A and B are shown apart, each in its own frame.
Chain A
């Protein structure tokens, strides 16, 4: 075999291998998606059926039974709301840490990250009681506040690592031209970091959308986001996998599709720019 042929063979083998890994890992999602178009009987047939006449009944029933739109709206409000608030708080902090670092900057950043390591369960009881006392149980307000604080450390970190890479000369040039600090941020830093801020926002939205600990413990029905709605399908009332799959597909589809478009930025963001 010539070197060229060897190389070609290698490419084909790599490709086959990569595709099989990807298909195996993706299979459960594919199966969920397929099952959502089956009848309940087809869903539990052995051997599993791959070819069948698709039906949309499950989706209709899910909407009727558990009001998908209501829970989806809760998910949208809590994840977008908390992300926007967290960004407003985090941008100035990240900006000042990146451009005017002091001796303590690194300590403050590590401390912020360490608050993320505090297990939520350690403060479950007080948060639950505070929410109960202020009438915030099963309210979107409570979730928005908690999600904001929960993601704030990661958001500050990510923005910090992006801002740090911006060339300082541009800022100096702007200052020479008489820009005020406010101008600097609004007219120089923000336009340069639209990409960074949006990928930070994306990650925060994904994390909120999929957050389950607080939404399961603090909401019942009014404010329950999709994670909590899905959990209500875990009760062993019998086998209704087709409906379960339809509900799951509806709950995950928006964020999975959203994730497909920005997976590269997400990886870069989640690793604080350590991986480019």
Chain B
């Protein structure tokens, strides 16, 4: 087939994604250099980098950036480490495997808004929640999770959503592991730990890379969980970049500053993406 036809077939996807990327992004760049507050229409003069200055000196800026990164790294570590350990432990035939699989993956299908509501109310409520009931039965003071440990609460919610995904990917990957190799190692006197360290972990390198990549895409953009549960608070304790920018744009109507923030978020995502695509790109066969 001619090159021109293959190009033609690719064209719709490529052009649409280009448009989707370029138009909003150039508008964001433009808005970020003008004074643009929806409350004061008609005063859209050029202000240079002032919006960036405003955004970076905003009291929420430093917490938002660090919360975004803490959230990303904690959830990645929790899901990958726990995911690898749990999947290695349950990677043997046992009674009711099919049902366990179905139960395990379920949290992944729960929508983020529902996720946040279940945890906020029925699990973490300091008076009526399950956690409060458990700690009271054990004789401890119940903890008000959302106001005392807001970021930890969000991390728990998001990890709950993504741990099942990691487990399932790793379990699926482990099923293709060479059992003969494992048995041979056992014959040679390798301990369970050695097998895990030198056979299982290397076998999981690729799945881990893929899980890290997919999760990063979604974790940098966590929004609904915060929107519904903590509202970014108390103070800026659980505000991430996405939430801070949403706050600037749709609650304070300052489009200029919000656009500057948006560009900052794009920059941050790009830095993360460069590392990731380098690391993961090799692992994806093209």
> Interface residues, chain A, CB within 8 Å of chain B?
10-12, 14-15, 17-19, 21-23, 25-26, 28-29, 31-32, 35, 44-48, 89-90, 92-93, 95-97, 100-102, 105-106, 108-110, 112-130, 149, 152-153, 156, 181, 206, 209-210, 212-213, 216-217, 226-228, 230-231, 233-234, 239, 241, 244-245, 248, 251-252, 255-256, 258-260, 263-264, 267-268, 270-272, 274-276
Contact A217 B242 (CB under 8 A): no
Name the interface residues of B24-54: CB closer than 8 Å to any CB of A.
24-25, 27-28, 31
Contact B6 A274 (CB under 8 A): no
Contact B122 A31 (CB under 8 A): yes
> Interface residues, chain B, CB within 8 Å of chain A?
1, 3, 5-7, 9-10, 12-14, 16-17, 20-21, 23-25, 27-28, 31, 86, 89-90, 92-97, 99-114, 116-123, 127-128, 130, 132-133, 137, 160, 163-165, 168-169, 172-173, 176, 206-207, 210-211, 214, 216-217, 220-221, 223-224, 227-229, 241-242, 245-246, 249-250, 255, 258-259, 261-263, 265-266, 268-270, 272-273, 276-277, 281, 283-286
**Complex partner residue of A234 from B89, B90, B123, B228, CB under 8 angstroms:** B228
Q: List the B side residues contacting A234 at CB < 8 Å.
A: 113, 116-117, 120, 228-229
Please give me the residue from chain A that is nearest to B267 by CB atom. Answer: A122
- What are the 9 closest A-B residue pairs judged by CB atoms, nearest first? A15-B94, A212-B224, A123-B24, A126-B27, A122-B262, A92-B9, A18-B90, A96-B9, A93-B13
**Complex partner residue of A256 from B1, B110, B130, CB under 8 angstroms:** B110
> In the complex, what distance in Å separates the CA atom of A38 from the CA atom of B74?
36
For B21, B93, B110, the residue with the greatest tally of chain A CB atoms inside 10 Å of its CB is B110
> In the complex, what distance in Å separates the CA atom of A10 from the CA atom of B93?
10
Q: List the B side residues contacting A11 at CB < 8 Å.
A: 92-95
Contact A26 B228 (CB under 8 A): no
> In the complex, what distance in Å separates the CA atom of A12 from the CA atom of B95?
8
> In the complex, what distance in Å separates the CA atom of A18 from the CA atom of B270?
38
Q: List the A side residues contacting B107 at CB < 8 Å.
A: 25-26, 28-29
> In the complex, what distance in Å separates the CA atom of A7 from the CA atom of B192?
14
**Complex partner residue of A117 from B20, B118, B255, B270, CB under 8 angstroms:** B270
Please give me the residue from chain A that is nearest to B32 by CB atom. Answer: A125
> In the complex, what distance in Å separates the CA atom of A122 from the CA atom of B221?
10
Contact A127 B24 (CB under 8 A): yes
**Complex partner residue of A125 from B116, B133, B164, B262, CB under 8 angstroms:** B262
Contact A119 B242 (CB under 8 A): yes
Q: List the B side residues contacting A268 at CB < 8 Å.
A: 172
> In the complex, what distance in Å separates the CA atom of A239 from the CA atom of B169?
38
Contact A121 B228 (CB under 8 A): no
Q: List the A side residues contacting B172 at CB < 8 Å.
A: 264, 267-268, 275-276
Contact B100 A114 (CB under 8 A): no
Contact A275-B207, Cβ < 8 Å, known A28-B107, A123-B262, A126-B28: yes
Contact B250 A115 (CB under 8 A): no
Contact A255-B266, Cβ < 8 Å, known A89-B12, A127-B24: no
Q: List the B side residues contacting A217 at CB < 8 Å.
A: 246, 250
Q: List the B side residues contacting A130 at CB < 8 Å.
A: 24, 27
Contact A252 B109 (CB under 8 A): yes
Contact B101 A263 (CB under 8 A): yes
Q: List the A side residues contacting B5 at CB < 8 Å.
A: 96, 181
Q: List the B side residues contacting A19 at CB < 8 Å.
A: 96, 100
Contact A256-B160, Cβ < 8 Å, known A11-B93, A14-B92: no
Contact B96 A28 (CB under 8 A): no
For A25, A109, A228, the residue with the greatest tally of chain B CB atoms inside 10 Å of its CB is A25
Contact A21 B104 (CB under 8 A): yes
Known: A216-B227, A252-B109. 8 other contacts (CB 8 A): A28-B122, A115-B21, A210-B109, A212-B113, A227-B224, A234-B113, A256-B109, A263-B168
